[in-house]
Amino acid sequence: MAKTTLTGTRIRSERQRLGLKQTELAARAGISASYLNLIEHNRRRIGGKLVLDLSRALGVEPAALTEGAQAPLLESLHAAAADHPEVPAETARIEDFAGRFPGWAALLAARSARVARLERRVETLTDRLTHDPFLSSALHDVLSTVTAIRSAAAILADTEDIDPEWQARFLRNIRDDAHRLGDGASALVRHLDQSGERPAAAGTPQEELEQLLEVSDFHLPALEGPLPQDPAALAAAAPGLTSPAARSLARAHFDRYRSDAAALAAGAFGRALAQSGFDPLRVARLFDVPLAMVLRRWAALAGPQGGPRPGLVRADGSGTLIFRQPTQGFALPRFGAVCPLWPLFEALTHPNVPVRRLVELGEGAPQRFLTYAISSATRPSGFDGPLVHEATMLILPEGLVPFPGGDALPIGSGCRICPHEACVARREPSLLSAAD
C-alpha cells in the first residue's frame, strides 16, 4: 500500500485498489457511506474499534492504516501553532488543512520540527558555554593571558622613561604569554572541533540514547539470554553515542536492562503474563520482583512480537521525563511540561501504590490506552542521603491486551495543545480553544 500521510487517504487508496465502492466498504464496516466519505477525505479522525472494523473489511492490518499516520502530523501542526500564539492559525480546521494539502502540511510540520531541534541545539550549546568546565576554564585562561599581554604592551608603548630592567621583564612576559595564548587557543580549537563532530540531530544525551534504542525497537537481544554481553562494552561500542554523558546514560540503561532480563527471562515472562490474564501485579508477585521491573520488561519485549509497540515513560521526583519509549498516538512531548493528569503523576504522588487507568487522547474519535504506573521512594545512599523518587508508566495501545470496561480518563499531551477546555487540571489556556 502506498504510504500516504493520512489515515483517510490510505483507506481510500486501499478501497480503490480492491475495486470496492464506498457503499460496499461502508456496509462491511457498519457505517454510512457519507461518514466513510468524510473519513476518506480526512474530515473525520478515527481510532479504536472503527479502525479495526475498516482494516478487517479491507483485509489489512490496522497498523497499515494508522501506523505513522495522521496523529503525529496533526500533533506536529498543533505544536507548530502553539509555538506562535501571536499568529491566529485556524487550529480548528487543522484536519481539513492536512487533508486538503497533505504536502504543505507535512512541509510545515517538518519545518516546525527542524526549528524545535535547532532551538534545542542552541539551548544545549548555551548550556555548554555556561557549564562546560573545560570551556569555562580555557576561555578564562585565554582572556587572562590577553589581559596580561595588553597591559604589558601598553606599559611598554606608553612609558617613555621605563627602567631597562622593567622593560626587559615586560618583554619577557609578553613572549611567555604569547606562547601560552597559542597553546590555550589550540586546546580550545581542539575541544570545539570534537564538539562539532557530535551529531546535530540528537541535542541531548537522553535523545542520543533514545535514538539508539528506537533503531532496535527498544529491545536489546545482546542483553538477553544466558550469556548477555557486558553492558559497559556494549555502551562503549554503541553507534551514535558521541558524548560521555550519553554513554553513561546508555551504560545505566543497559545495566538495568540486563538485570531485568536476568530476573524475567523472555519465555517465562511471556507465559506468566498470558497466564495471569495480562495482570502485571500478579506477574510481579509470581517472580517476586518490583512492579516497575515488570512494566519495563513488558515494554522491552512486546514490541518485537508484532502488533503495536507499547510505550514507557519514567519521571524523576520533579516530574521531568527521564525516559521516553513512544507508542503510536500517545504524544510524549520533548520540551515543556506534560499533562498533569497522566497516571504517571498519580503514581508519583502515591509511592508504592500501583495505578491502573484507562485513558483516552484526542477529540472526536479519541484513541484509548491502558496504563499501568508505579513509583518508588528510596534513599540510595542510606538514611543520611536524600530521598529519591522515580515513577514508571507502561502505555498499552488497543489491540495488545483486552481492555477493562468503564469510562476512560480524558488526558492530553500538554495544556497548550489540549482540546479539553474545561479540564480541572488545566495549567494554561489551550491554543485550540482560543482559536475556536
Minimum distance of another protein from residue 126's CB (angstroms): 11
- Pattern 331-370, another protein, x by CB under 8 A: ----------------------------------------
Of 165-173, 239-247, 348-356, 384-392, the window that binds another protein (rule: CB under 8 A) is: 165-173
Strand partners, 410: 360
Among 15, 80, 170, 375, binds another protein (CB under 8 A): 170
**Is residue 185 at the binding interface for another protein, with CB under 8 A as the rule?**
no
* 151 touches another protein by CB under 8 A: yes
| 414 contacts: CB under 8 Å, gap ≥ 6 | 333, 336, 337, 338, 339
How buried is 283 (Cβ within 10 angstroms: 0-12 exposed, 13-18 middle, 19+ buried)? Answer: buried
Q: Count of residues for the chain?
A: 436
C-alpha cell at 372: 499501568
DSSP state of 88: -
User: Judged by CB under 8 A, how many residues of this single chain contact another protein?
Assistant: 23
Q: Is 314 helix (H, G, I), strand (E, B) or coil?
A: strand
Closest CA to 392 of 346, 361, 427: 346
Please identify, using beta-carbon distances, which residue of 122 and 154 lies nearer to another protein.
154
- 255: enclosing H helix or E strand: helix 244-263
Of 139 and 358, nearer to another protein (C-beta) is 139
Q: Select the residue interacting with another protein from 101, 104, 166, 335 (CB under 8 A).
A: 166
Task: Tell which one of 90, 119, 127, 176 touches another protein (CB under 8 A).
Answer: 176
Which listed residue (32, 147, 186, 305) binds another protein by CB under 8 A?
147
- Output the CA angle 224-230-233, nearest 5 degrees: 125
Using CB under 8 A as the binding rule, whether residue 177 contacts another protein is answered as yes
Within a 10 A sphere around the Cβ of 399, how many other Cβ atoms? 14
β-sheet bridge partners, residue 292? none
Classify 351 as helix, strand or coil. Answer: coil
Residue 158 found at the interface with another protein (CB under 8 A): yes
Query: Nearer to another protein by C-beta: 158 or 384?
Result: 158
Among 17, 93, 150, 271, binds another protein (CB under 8 A): 150
CB closer to another protein out of 34 and 147: 147
- CA-angle at 368, arms to 425 and 69, nearest 5°: 105
Measure the CA–CA gap between 87 and 430, rounded to whole angstroms: 14
Which residues in the 127-146 window bind another protein by CB under 8 A?
Answer: 130, 136, 139-140, 143-146
Contact range with another protein by CB under 8 A, out of 69-77, 166-174, 325-333, 394-402: 166-174
Could you give the CA distance from residue 45 to residue 40 in angstroms, rounded to a whole number? 10
Residues 93, 95, 98: CA angle, nearest 5 degrees: 110
Query: DSSP secondary structure string, 280-307?
Result: HHHHHHHHT--HHHHHHHHHHHHGGGSS
Closest separation between CB of residue 149 and another protein, Å?
A: 8
- Residue list 33-92, contact with another protein (CB under 8 A): none
- Report the half-sphere exposure of 326 (CA within 13 A, side-chain side): 17
Nearest distance in Å: CB 162, another protein: 9
Cβ-based nearer residue to another protein, 52 or 155: 155
CB of 185 to another protein, least distance (A): 14
Based on CB atoms, which residue is closest to another protein, 148 or 337?
148
Residue type at 40 in one-letter notation: E
The nearer residue to another protein, 187 or 286, going by C-beta atoms, is 187
* Contact between residue 418 and residue 68 where contact means Cβ atoms under 8 Å apart: no
188 binds another protein (CB under 8 A): no
Selected from 28, 117, 120, 169, the binder of another protein by CB under 8 A is 169
Q: Which is nearer to another protein, 123 or 176 (by Cβ)? A: 176
Stretch that binds another protein, among 52-60, 155-163, 195-203, 308-316 (CB under 8 A): 155-163
| Identity of the residue, 177 or 208, whose beta carbon is nearer to another protein in the bound complex | 177
C-alpha span between 9 and 3 (Å, rounded): 9
Binding residues for another protein (CB under 8 A): 130, 136, 139-140, 143-148, 150-152, 154-155, 158-159, 166, 169-170, 173, 176-177
